[in-house]
Amino acid sequence: MPFEKFLSSFDPETGEVTGARITKRYLSELRGCFADSAAYEAALALADPLLYSVSTVDYAAGEGDLGYAVGVLMPGRIGPEYYMTKGHLHAWREAAEIYIGFKGDGVMLLQAEANGDRQMLPLRPYQPIYVPGHTAHRTINTGTVPLIYIAIFPARAGHDYAAIATKNFRQVVIEQGGQPVVLDRAEWLSTRGSR
Ligand code: M6P
Ligand code: ZN
């Protein structure tokens, strides 16, 4: 059975992947991600909840190889800002990625490294999102149940968190009147500051 090892399985209801490598991210690992740093520190002083887990399946690490990860991102907010992933560029900048939602309500923020072009896209079943190379990407749970999704990427993609952490995503996704809205981070912060 030469190809047996290439069959894997996951549960789209729970995000569990048989035999996967699991990474867990807690609130304390997302310092600097949430726009309202006072709300972040206040929340962290109370608890350090699990924000998301990522189950990664690697087959091989050569040029041309692919891997995938199933993410489970919890519902919740820091102030009005929804729980999110750290967000990254790929260490190998040319690497693209495809995301597909399975369950829950989410969005992705995409931001081109070169010129800052940016957009929020819905992360839903049957609507794959293609993240081109050289594009920072962050996943956000705008719903009330865990957001479960798959991401398929070149095995060599890698993660570069530092580049986008310094500049940060220019958009924030916040809850207003029960609905997610996307706003310019700097403008939103200045509005809140002047209250
Ligand atoms: C997806 C994939 C993973 C990534 C994860 C969480 O599942 O893109 O490679 O690690 O999302 O995102 P981040 O690494 O930005 O926290
Ligand atoms: Zn990625």
DSSP the chain: -TTGGG---B-TTT--BTT-EEEEEEGGGGTTTSS-HHHHHHHHHH---EEEEEEEEES--STT-EEEEEEEE---EETTEEPB---BB-SSTT--EEEEEEES-EEEEEEETTT--EEEEEEBTTB-EEE-TTEEEEEEE-SSS-EEEEEEEETT---B-HHHHHH--SEEEEEETTEEEEEEHHHHHHHHHT-
Tell me the per-residue pLDDT of 157-180, one tens digit each, with 9 for 90 and over: 999 999 999 889 999 999 999 999
Distance 79 CA to ligand 2 centre (A): 26
Can you give the pLDDT at residue 179? 95
What pLDDT is recorded for position 166? 84
What homologous superfamily does CATH list for 3-191?
Jelly Rolls (2.60.120.10)
Interval 121-137: pLDDT, tens = 999 999 999 999 999 99
Give pLDDT, residue 139.
Answer: 98
Q: Please identify every stretch of the chain with a pLDDT value under 50, giving residue numbers as ranges.
A: 195
Ligand 1: residues whose CB is within 6 Å?
25, 54, 69, 71, 85-88, 97, 139, 151, 159
Domains of the chain, residue spans: 3-191
